[in-house]
Amino acid sequence: MTNGHKPINLQYRKIRVTYLIAIVITISLGLASRNWSTLLPSFVAQNAGDILWAMMVYFGFRLLLVGKSVLTAIWLSLLFSFGIEFSQLYQEDWINQIRGTTLGALILGKGFLVEDLVRYTAGIIIATVLDTAAIKLRLRSYMENR
């Protein structure tokens, strides 16, 4: 199946590479925000990590579900992020041992905070705005090159 010029699989591959790059950049910024938090303004240091984590989740869903709508990615990102946050209310030794590792803490967090839900929502909104702008740029470029 083609879309005029390129097979759909090739288009999806290029889009997936774009989302993979977005994920790598977002993870790098998130880790940097944790490592150099003392160099950042207090507001940025307190909020950037969770916002960037949610952006990474959004880009991850876009990577996995290229053919689905932006709205699908938004809802799945909110469900996933909120699910992880609410899972922090569950406190048992086995899961706290996982949370005690660096990777476990980055993925599962450590303790429930309502403000994290706001940060996740903000991150997903920011990622959606960036994604939608990139889509519009790709469409404009495509239309100009026809």
**Tens digits of residue pLDDT in 2-27:** 455 556 677 888 899 999 999 999 99
Which of the 8 DSSP states describes residue 66?
A: T
- Residue 128, classed as helix, strand or coil, is helix
Instruction: Read off the tokens for 1.
Output: 């199946």
According to DSSP, the residues that pair with 7 across neighbouring strands are: 2
What is the full DSSP assignment across 68-121? S-HHHHHHHHHHHHHHHHHHTT---HHHHHHHTSHHHHHHH-SS--HHHHHHHH
Would you state the pLDDT for residue 142? 72
- Residue 141, classed as helix, strand or coil, is helix
**Tens digits of residue pLDDT in 101-141:** 988 988 898 889 999 999 999 999 999 999 999 988 887 87
Report the chain's mean pLDDT, rounded to a whole number: 91
18-56 per-residue burial string, b: 16 or more CB within 10 A, e: under 16: bbeebbeebbeebeebeeeeeeeeeeeeebbbbbbbbbb
Would you state the pLDDT for residue 4? 53
